[in-house]
A and B are shown apart, each in its own frame.
Chain A
């Protein structure tokens, strides 16, 4: 790729980027959220058109206007959010877009090729299983097989390890090395520096849409050097002062959910005290959503008790838990947190619209709403034209600030935040972390649910690990290592000691 540039309105997503991959080479593409990595790869795969620049495959220039062109050029991509139809079978997902034989779907030929690929790289799959029945790791395997099926000679993987347990990552790396050994080129996008150092042969670092640096020997480069290239200055982790945990502000005892869609909770007990941050770790899909739903008042547990600041929760509604002093930051800010097509101010007052702060006797108080929105925008430096701009127009970081503002303005005793820095650039993520530590020092209890272990290690006083709907173990910050947590995350670390920790006094 030479001289690639791409603008989205005033935003320069990519500026004059040059990048090469040789056969058999694993190239790491680094950059923080928003640096332009995904945009660049989407250009390569035909989802976006570059505003300038040229792409060459095997020396000849190609024009890639859609995925069909990319596939024809031998480029395959495994996206961060899988491109699979969960109600169709593995075979059907493979066959989509392939020409048939005599106008019919070619089942026999496909089965044969699938078996061949399974043998070559160890990627086994059951062809007639519906995708909904596959594990996340298997689904990713299917995505890779899809690319190989189309004869990809270059494979792009976008943050592939975000959804895997540490042990599954090894399996992926083995398959990737095997494919590289066969002459495939691989582009590995990640912001997990240690993985990049372990796997890749060379790296390109993007920052603010431009190439900030190239690393020819990633294994010999330290993570902090890479991080410096990624964000242009030293990263100093926020200072976590000593904590003086006080009274319990959130207590869960024996919580189980029966009717929850997805992983159900079994006998979960957890206590959060004022002035402490409890991280909740785990591979996605092990009950974190159910936990967040129960605490947020979205789902009623089938058994167990919950209390906030000493008062028992009875109704399990958002209104109740809020009134008891719980603040909530949802996982999907665009779909659950905010209403994208309404003014920002509406989203900011939404959870408390029925309270005296914003309405009286069924009538809205427009002046109070406007004042609140303006105050919070000022206090949190939310970059937007004004409180009545369409919420969907704001950037991820500013939206997260708005969500924080709307909760923190009401002085919660305890805060639960799910994936608080997902999709945010380092500056915005840093802001969020500092806010949390600030709250902690002021006596708020915080629960942070995150798939990013490094984030949890930075923030937490204690880390609870979820596995299959249970708390597999709770580890103090001092004892928390990636290895230890990784074992708990895969259910391997359940020792007697672990089980004792899981039972809260």
Chain B
């Protein structure tokens, strides 16, 4: 008696929700072992984690603020992966967006204009960075994974050089950029919280990106190119142009993540402005099964875990790095879960 994988004809609809949930639960269950190893109570630790993320309205706004850049990077990765453009460089594109928007925001001008220009420049910077691995792949067959990864390090060092040297805030003791004009600070949507305009934009961006992917010819071409570039070419699609378009979209979204952090949270750029949001975007995109609408709950989940992990660490002594382990485990669990969308398990009788 053996178990065999058999290809499915169609994915049942209930799986679209059930699988990410199952992956999340599996990740939490697996990581509970680590909590136990650290000598803390599992329910106590998770309790602190999630209550500090969702416990009261202020906590929820904090989680949303944390989620906003990850919604953008999750969208960025989802768009890119749909075209099978392996954009692992969302981290660097975020930084580029942060740098550009911070530079623009420091120029004195009316608030609304500043914010608009910040968004445009940040998106453009992110798009430009994303175009590098895309062009290298399209013209020179360079692997986009490696080039986008290496570019992350390069941009990080460039940022460090700037904020330690020519772009250092003279009023500060340690490396940080000059702040943007006060008028360029994103307006706060709820008194007493940090919930800024960028969060709203992120939440609105998800359905917009969904529309682009599912209802426009560009989105159609992106999907087909990602699934089968040969058939796309035969069908008259300019595969190179589609890849570059996907890179521009993807980089632009990642750049907007940086814009939000500068305009709404930190108002200036420092070396640790992104604790790995670009990489989290990959986890989020996979949990969302590359569906832009699914990115929002996935990002909120990860934001809760990240915010909650700090509180949990203070309360129970479990290292806050648990959130990184949960992220990695969630991604791996999701991949295993995805197997069930394409295959089902069959029991077969053996040979007599």
Contact = CB atoms under 8 A, between A and B. Distances in A.
Say whether A associates with B. Answer: yes
Contacts of B214: 364
Given A52-B352, A339-B228, A342-B224, A389 B234 contact: no
A224 interface: no
A339 B229 CA distance: 9
Contacts of B228: 335, 338-341
B227 A364 contact: no
A346 interface: yes
A284 interface: no
Nearest to A52: B352
B235 interface: yes
Contact of B9 (A322, A359, A390): A390
Contact of B221 (A52, A296, A297, A353): A353
A9 B216 contact: no
Interface in B307-352: 348-352
A354 B231 contact: no
Contacts of A9: 6
B215 A366 contact: yes
Given A346-B220, A363-B215, A339 B231 contact: yes
B139 interface: no
Contact of A318 (B9, B217, B223, B236): B236
A335 B217 contact: no
Contacts of A393: 7, 9-10
A160 interface: no
B215 A364 contact: yes
A346 B224 contact: yes
B230 A336 contact: yes
A339 B352 contact: no
A107 B144 CA distance: 40
B218 interface: yes
Contact of B234 (A51, A63, A337, A364): A337
A298 B233 contact: yes
Contacts of A51: 348-349, 351
Interface in A273-303: 296-298
A296 B234 contact: yes
A50 interface: yes
A440 B157 CA distance: 67
A359 B223 CA distance: 16
Contact of B235 (A52, A53, A350, A366): A350
Contacts of B216: 362-364
Contacts of A390: 8-10
A385 interface: yes
Contacts of A354: 217, 236
Given A63-B351, A346-B224, A364 B230 contact: no
Interface size class of B (residues with CB under 8 A): 20 to 34
Interface in A334-378: 335-342, 346-347, 350-351, 353-354, 359, 362-364, 366
Interface string A182-221: 0000000000000000000000000000000000000000
Interface in B7-40: 7-10
Contacts of A297: 236
A235 B173 CA distance: 91
Nearest to B238: A317
A363 B224 contact: no
B235 A362 contact: no
Given A335-B230, A335-B231, A336-B230, A319 B236 contact: yes
A89 interface: no
A353 B9 contact: no
A353 B235 contact: yes
Contacts of B10: 385, 389-390, 393
Contacts of A319: 236
A54 interface: yes
A297 B348 CA distance: 47
A330 interface: yes
A6 B181 CA distance: 74
A49 interface: yes
A366 to B, nearest CB: 7
Interface string B69-104: 000000000000000000000000000000000000
A318 B351 contact: no
B352 A350 contact: no
B95 to A, nearest CB: 31
A60 to B, nearest CB: 15
B220 A353 contact: yes
A298 B234 contact: yes
Contact of B217 (A53, A63, A362, A389): A362
A328 B82 CA distance: 27
Nearest to A320: B236
A341 B227 contact: yes
B351 A339 contact: no
A359 B217 contact: yes
Contact of B236 (A317, A330, A346, A362): A317
A330 B234 contact: yes
B233 A364 contact: no
Contacts of A342: 223-224, 227
Nearest to B342: A341
Contacts of A336: 230-231, 234
Nearest to A358: B217
Contacts of A347: 231
A332 to B, nearest CB: 8
A133 B216 CA distance: 46
A180 B250 CA distance: 63
A207 B6 CA distance: 25
Interface in B232-277: 232-237
Interface string A313-332: 00001110010000010100
B328 to A, nearest CB: 27
Nearest to A54: B352
B217 A385 contact: no
Contacts of A296: 234
Contacts of A392: 7
A440 to B, nearest CB: 24
10 contacts: A9-B6, A51-B348, A51-B349, A52-B352, A298-B233, A318-B233, A337-B234, A338-B231, A340-B227, A346-B223
Given A337-B234, A350-B237, 6 more contacts: A63-B351, A296-B234, A336-B231, A342-B224, A351-B234, A359-B217
Interface of A: 9, 49-54, 63, 296-298, 317-319, 322, 328, 330, 335-342, 346-347, 350-351, 353-354, 359, 362-364, 366, 385, 389-390, 392-393
